[in-house]
Structure 1
Amino acid sequence: MSRHDPVDRHHPVHNPEIVGFTQAEIDETPVKVKWNSLGPGIVAAATGVGAADLVATLTAGSRYGYGLMWAVVLGVIFKIVLVEGTGRYYLSTGKTIFQGWRTLGVWTSWYFGIYIMIWGFVYGATAMSSVALPLSALFPEVDSKIFAIVSGLIGLGLVWINKYGLIEKLMTVLIGIMFFAVLVSAALTAPNLGEILTGLIPMIPGEEGAMFYVLGLAGGVGGTITLAAYGYWLREKGWNTPKWMKVMRYDNATAYVLTGIFVIATMIMGVELLHSAGLAISAGDRGLLDVGNVLADRYGQAFSIIFLIGFFAASFSSLLGVWHGVSLMFADFWTNFRKPADSLDQDDAPSLESKPARFYLIWLTILPMSLLFLERPIFLILLYGTLGALFMPFLAVTLLFLNNQRKLVPAKFRNRWFHNALLGLTALVFVVLGGYELIKAVAPLFGGGA
């Protein structure tokens, strides 16, 4: 039976409690894992790690030395748990993550619909500006707004042609450049291995607010909404039945372990370049320009150029991944939010050639260009921060419910006790962190500090 044929509910091998796959499909021999069984995980990881994540990790290193290395490792575990849960739900049910949320009630559609529109408008400008920063440092004679606009249009064009294989190859090249630039820069600093190992022992700095800094480092590096897009990239890859489960887990774990190595290298730079010299970097993406200047002063202009190229690769890979994956998520939302939740499966998820996907691509690219010329509206930024603080708790908590559903998830793919424990811990951390970020986001509305 083709995955695109309707499921015969009266077929003798079909489990009537499972919507989406026949029992034969559920029990099909798993595809063998090969060393190069990578694809969607690389796209998700490259999308999730952007310039803001690099700044957060560099700042942690400059502020606390290697003391929070353990939080980076914990963050990698959180991401593996969340993305594995997203992928497992898709492969075991034939439903996308949005279609799963629909089974939890109409409130999920209202929240997600408002969030994805506001997030996309603000993130579009942020992503284009982030790509422009290193290019402006490399070519100061060109206005940064030109780089920002051109990068957005290139991203739109690459995604518009709807060639997932091309996107995956480009992302692989970009993440390779990221790794090379950051690992070379970290190696230059001759890090202390003993201190790095000591940093793997959990500890909380004594200063006020340090706990939330730790949670932010563990929870904030490696993506937000893009974690939920993983199932859509599985679908684009053609990994769309339970037989791909082992390959998906290998793909996810390998990609995020590599991400962990990358983030650790970034923290090493923060410690050895900034902490040891008592230097601070600017807030936001501009902090990476400061790091480039430090590298130029200490090791020569060539290494600053290498780092800035890595900065560009990190920023553009995030832009490209969001333009692709989140557009698919929006198209799924727009096409299906009015349909009965129990009638949907992956065949109802539209492609990038659909009108909703192309509308969202334009929404991400063209409209946010106005924010490149104007001060961003404060209310929009506050709303963006508020909804953003709620998304990761939303994802973690809903996955805990989705992967325990008896009527949708086959028994062999439901959460085991360790899945529930890890997802529960992840959900708890993100609820606490989300609450803290929510208070920070709304405080200005009541005259408080941000």
Structure 2
Amino acid sequence: MTDDHDEPKVETDGGLTEDDIFTTAEVGEQYRATVYRDVDYDSLDVAPETSEYPSTDGKWGYRKYDLPKVPKVSHIVGPSAIMLGASLGSGETMFWPTLVAQNGWGLYWAFWVGVITQFFINTEIQRWTIATGESIFRAFDRLNSFWPWFFLVAGFFHVGWPGWAAGASEVFAAWTGVVPREDWAIIGVITMVLIWLSYQAGPILYNAIEKAQLVMMFVAIFGAVILAFIAGSIGQFASIPAGAVNFGALPQNMDIATFLGGLAYAGAGGYVNLAQGVWAREKGYGMGSYQGRIKNPLRGAEPEEVHGGFTFEPSEKNLRRWKAWWKITQQEHFLTFVIGLLIVATVAMTITAEYAAGTDQGAINMWLDVVIPQLGAVQGQLMYVVIFIALFSTQYAILEAFVRNSVDIIFEGYGRSAGWDLSRVFLGLLTLFTLWGILIIVAQFQQPWILLVIGAAIAGAMMWPYNALVTILNTTRLPEHTQPGWGRVLAMWWATGFFGYFTILLIGGVLNSPEAYGLSFPMFETTVGVVGSAPGGYALWVFALVVQIYTMYRSATAKLNASGTVDGADAAKGFLS
């Protein structure tokens, strides 16, 4: 791999030019297949414990090296395409179309607010990786070794049930008739095996899923655009503006677990979002390009080492590179993730609002039994294609996210010190999780929609603590020039409060719903307006308030204390930096 330190320098009167900041087209093209720049990690200087470098918390010092030159945004598309794939079969074609069909367009405000909120969450998760080359789990470990293991356990409960593979299989069976619809488990097993086999397509494990997801996302978005014109639901677009500004409106007696799932899945949600930084490292974003990619040992690929953390000296050159890296990272995520979600999900919502208004069906039954039978032959076939791709791509991306996140946690928490081979750990967990999914599908533990609801509620509840942790981490541990700007801090405060509020409603609902959950603790009842909650419910609200105040205090204090501590930091800073 060509190192950008070997590229020709172009300087004028001793100053920096664009050629010092941006990579050549030839080197930029290499990012499309992921980038790894091998450096002699042990020979690099360790960054001093000063305000110009990330705080170590007494753990694992950072090695100093220049931030790589910056490619074009078109060269780095990939991580957000996988995140988009993880999103389409959850909120965008399942939860939100169902919620709108059941409750009308008055909820659309929550969808687009959720998407924009997740834009800020996901890019903040990437920030640590771009600045240090470390995953977000390594960063959480710097705060407290409890957190990575907590998210591993919660992540299993979030995505441990292969609901999307089950859903995709039922859709495929109904669509093609290759097996009776009730025998969808046969297709589910084949689906899981095909996903495992796809990882054997090349020596770099990440590349296989990125290429597959890019193709599927193109087909899904293209199909959705066509459906917008031919499905007969175009009149529904007139109702969107009113719903988009109907802030705070919630239907009475709405199931909070389903709604929280919809909020979490206005995007990928839960454990999956945390993979954004790990994918950015595999792709080679920023300092992540000095970290090894996970190779396939079955293909005889030579392993690449995932080192400790990196950092860069805040020179004028590096500060300008950081600002450019941050700009293209946001562009890649917005153009791929946000725009893709808004197109596919909104079209899906117009169709269900037109053909399934007031439905009491779960999402999959709604599409198969209510919507598609009312469409014409061509529209119905295209709808099958879009729904199947949405569900299949989601299971594909979720399996990838679960395995990659969990491997990182296990390796950094134990495997590195034990001398484990990272690639073999990945392949082993991939195989185990695939077999687990097959077992659950064959046993038909629950109907697909129930699996999705359970996972979605847990996903929303997970996002509350990690939003707070990411906010604190990026303000208290990163130096002034790589910290989030005040606009982003405000967005993360909002995200923490947003998911905290609905998580408390969910907890109160679970503890006071004996019909649904077999438990009955009325003293913990919570209300949408807070006032009128039971005594235990008020205690839950107070806890949420304490978390919110603590998060805001720690991050605001860190931002104020860091101001003016790094010479020239203004070159990399901004309100939304």
Instruction: Place the TM-score, normalised by the shorter chain, in its bin.
Output: 0.7 to 0.9
For structure 1, which segment, 182-191 or 75-84, has the greater mean C-alpha deviation from structure 2 after superposition? 182-191
Question: How far has the Cα of 1:313 moved from its partner?
Answer: 0.6
The match for 1:274 among 334, 356, 380 is 356
Change (3 A) 1:144 1:207: closer
Could you say what secondary structure the match of 2:348 adopts? helix
Q: What displacement does 1:38 show?
A: 1.7
Look up the equivalent residue of 2:208 and give its one-letter code: L
Q: Does 1:393 align with 2:464?
A: yes
- 2:392 is equivalent to residue 321 of structure 1: no
**Cα displacement (A) at 1:310:** 0.9
* Structure having greater relative contact order (Cα 8 Å, sep ≥ 6): 1
State the match for 1:288 in structure 2. Answer: 367
Aligned residue number for residue 505 of structure 2: 436
1:50-69 to 2 correspondences below 5 Å: 50-51=89-90, 53-69=92-108
Are the equivalent residues in 1 in contact too, given 2:119–2:333 (CA < 8 A)?
A: yes
Q: Partner of 1:25: helix, strand, or coil?
A: coil
Task: Write out aligned runs for 1:411-430 (5 A).
Answer: 411-430=480-499
Selected match of 2:333 from 241, 249, 252: 252
| SS of residue matched to 2:143 | coil
* Aligned match for 1:44, one of 83, 92, 95: 83
Partner of 1:151: 191
Following superposition, the deviation at residue 220 of structure 1 comes to 2.8
The whole-number CA distance in structure 2 between the counterparts of 1:384 and 1:35 is: 33
Query: What residue is the counterpart of 2:206 in the other structure?
Result: 164
Does the alignment pair 1:446 with 2:533? no
Larger Rg over CA atoms: 2
- Measured after TM superposition, the shift of residue 422 of structure 1 is 0.4
Contact 1:55–1:287 (CA<8 Å) still a contact in 2? no
Q: Could you list the per-position Cα deviations for residues 322-356 of structure 1 after superposition, in whole angstroms to 9, with x for gaps in the alignment? A: 2223211111111111489xx9xxxx9975x322x
Alignment partner of 1:402 is 2:473: yes
Structure 2, gaps ≥5 residues long: 6-36, 56-60, 288-321, 523-577
Match of 1:25 in 2: 66
Q: CA, structure 1 residues 104+209, in 2 after alignment: closer, same or farther (shift >3 Å)?
A: farther
Q: 1:202 aligns with which of 237, 246, 249?
A: 246
* CA offsets 1:148-200 (integer angstroms, 9 cap, x no match): 00100111111255443332121111112222333333332222544322222
Contact 1:386–1:441 (CA under 8 A) maintained in structure 2:
no
Specify the alignment match of 1:186 in structure 2.
Answer: 228
C-alpha separation between the residues in 2 aligned to 1:306 and 1:40?
Answer: 27
Following TM superposition, by how much is the alpha carbon of 1:51 offset from its aligned partner in structure 2, in angstroms?
4.5
* Distance change >3 Å, CA 237–CA 432, structure 1 → 2: same
The normalised TM-score by structure 1 is: 0.84
* Partner of residue 354, structure 1: 424
Distance 1:318 1:370, change over 3 A: same
Whole-Å separation in 1 of the counterparts to 2:47 and 2:460: 45
SS of equivalent residue, structure 1 residue 415: coil
For 1:113, the equivalent position in structure 2 comes to 152
Cα distance in structure 1, aligned partners of 2:411 and 2:38: 20
Residue 177 of structure 1, aligned match among 210, 213, 219? 219
2:412 and 2:378 map into 1 onto residues whose CA distance is 51
* Pairing partner for 1:136 from 155, 173, 177: 173
**8 Å CA contact 2:220, 2:390 repeated in 1:** yes
Deviates most, 198-207 or 101-110: 198-207
C-alpha displacement of 1:246: 2.5
Residue 4 of structure 1: how far off its partner (Å): 4.1
CA distance in 1, matches of 2:142, 2:340: 34
Is the CA contact (8 Å cut-off) linking 1:332 and 1:350 kept in structure 2?
no
Describe the SS at the equivalent of 1:88: helix
What is the identity percentage for the equivalent residue pairs of Structure 1 and Structure 2? 17
Cα offset, 1:70, TM superposition: 2.1
Alpha-carbon distance, 1:400 to partner: 0.8
Query: How many angstroms apart in 1 are the aligned matches of 2:129 and 2:254?
Result: 37
Q: In structure 2, the residue corresponding to 1:404 is in which secondary structure? A: helix
Give the partner amino acid of 2:327: K
Query: 125-134 or 179-188, which moves further after superposition?
Result: 179-188
* Distance in structure 1 (CA, Å) of the matches to 2:77 and 2:169: 29
Distance 1:20 1:307, change over 3 A: farther
1-structure distance, mates of 2:112, 2:184: 35
Change (3 A) 1:287 1:448: farther
CA distance in 2, matches of 1:51, 1:109: 24
Aligned partner of 2:409 in structure 1 is: 333
Please provide the CA RMSD for this pair. 3.4
1: CA distance, partners of 2:138 / 2:153: 17
